[in-house]
Structures are given as C-alpha cells and as structure tokens.
C-alpha cells in the first residue's frame, strides 16, 4: 500500500471510530445540543459523512496529481 493510501486508510479509520466505537459514539449519542436544527446524534453522523466526502475528494486529487489514475 502506498503512502497516500496508508494516510487515508488511517483517516477513515479515525472517522469510523468516532462514529461507531463505544466511547466516542456514546459521547455523541444524545439529543442536546441541537446543531443546525438537528439533534446532536444525527448531526454527528452527518458531520462524519461530510468529513468523509472531503477525504474522498482529497484522496482522489492526490491520486490524480501523482498520475495514479491513468492506468488503462
């Protein structure tokens, strides 16, 4: 696995821990405070999804810059 893939594998592992593991998820699993009109639990899941979108775009951009997408 190359360095870029290792970095993003770690990035997404951290997001997975924050959104699902006992401990971080228990902390987020509550109604208050409401954020953007959403209960905190739902906001937390959607916020992690947003960080994931950003991660995918960055991963793709780095792969494109390194020429790793041009294999045909």
| Inter-residue contact 56 to 9 (CB < 8 Å) | no
| Inter-residue contact 33 to 40 (CB < 8 Å) | yes
Tell me: does residue 14 bind other proteins (CB under 8 A).
Answer: no
Tell me: does residue 54 bind other proteins (CB under 8 A).
Answer: no
In the list 14, 30, 35, 65, the residue contacting other proteins (rule: CB under 8 A) is: 30
Q: Is 18 exposed, middle or buried (0-12, 13-18, 19+ CB in 10 A)?
A: middle
Q: Which residues bind other proteins (CB under 8 A)?
A: 1, 5, 8-9, 12, 15-16, 19-22, 25-26, 29-31, 37-39, 41-42, 45-46, 48-49, 52-53, 56-57, 59-60, 63, 67-72
């Amino acid at each position: 696995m190359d360095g870029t893939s290792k970095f993003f594998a770690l990035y997404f592992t951290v997001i997975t821990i924050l959104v699902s593991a006992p401990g971080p998820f228990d902390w987020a699993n509550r109604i208050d405070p409401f954020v953007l009109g959403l209960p905190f639990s739902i906001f937390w899941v959607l916020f992690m999804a947003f960080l994931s979108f950003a991660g995918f775009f960055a991963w793709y951009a780095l792969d494109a810059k390194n020429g790793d997408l041009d294999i045909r």
